[in-house]
Amino acid sequence: MLLTVTEKSLMQSFRESVRKEMNLTSFAHRLAKEKKLPILGICRGYQLMNVAEGGSLYQDLSLKATESFKHSQGTGPSIPTHSMKNRSRQPTG
């Protein structure tokens, strides 16, 4: 697939913005850990913190060898469908 100059510059711009976002998130994560501040990551923020801590991400969860997770829950946004565990023993409220 050949990309036009405009498409290439858009892709380059997107990659640069993602790199900046990851650097900023990484910096904020390290700073919060150094100061022993509680951290809450939601969606992409949680993913970036997971990677910063040495975790893994799966592009396609159906390819994961063990348990599978249905990401699209098929309900409205006001109905909770994901669970969360607080392993830090710190209060979340």
Q: What local confidence, expressed as pLDDT, does residue 3 receive?
A: 64
- Dist. CA 40–CA 73, nearest whole Å: 22
For the chain, 93 residues long, the average pLDDT of each consecutive 10-residue run is 72 81 80 87 82 79 63 72 69 59
Q: In whole angstroms, how far apart are CA 55 and each of 5, 12, 46, 63, 77?
A: 36, 27, 11, 17, 27
Q: What local confidence, expressed as pLDDT, does residue 4 receive?
A: 72
Q: What local confidence, expressed as pLDDT, does residue 26 receive?
A: 78
